Amino acid sequence: MYRIAATALVALGLAVTAQAGEVFVTKDAQGNPIYTDRPESLPAQKVDVATNQKGVVDAKPRTAPGEDPYAAQQKAWNEADKKAADTRQAAELTAADKAKRCQDARTQYQNVMNARRLYEDDGKGGRRYLDSAEIDSARVDAKKLMDEFCSGK
């Protein structure tokens, strides 16, 4: 019991010396001493705490010399940043590709709408001209393609 109180007193003494504050002692309901810098009840007796120890205490380092304690976290952050940059770049490429497809589809639609005669390759190096029903179908298909690629603009 006295050993615990003495240890607490020494610990408080070191803390008070470092902060140069006041220490008070009070008693709890069982009569045990309580050391504090803010007494909850009165009367509280002011205690003078002094230490003979001076100078810097050598602390044990948390990491080995030359080891960066934040290296793993920094590596994870760098990987997350790279992944985010790759995602942004892919989104930009996708947006650029989508814009190009939209422009190409609009151009194709305008060409189909403005042409008087449309043709397709016959596979032998020649042309087969479309009749009016096939031209109407080609115009509808070009409009659907343009709407598909240009939706959301």
Question: Cis peptide leading into 43, omega within 30 of 0?
Answer: yes
Task: Spell out the domain ranges in the chain.
Answer: 2-47, 91-150
Pairing mode of beta strands 127-129, 33-36: unpaired
pTM score, whole prediction: 0.41
Output the DSSP codes for 9-66. Answer: HHHHHHHHHHHT--EEEEE-TTS-EEEESS-SSS--EEE-------S---PPPSS-TT
Which residues make Cβ contacts (< 8 Å) with residue 63, sequence separation at least 6?
69
- Digit-by-digit pLDDT tens for the chain (153 residues) are 555 655 665 666 655 444 556 888 888 888 888 888 877 777 777 777 776 666 666 666 666 667 777 888 888 999 999 999 988 888 887 888 888 989 999 999 999 999 888 888 888 888 888 898 999 999 999 999 999 888 864
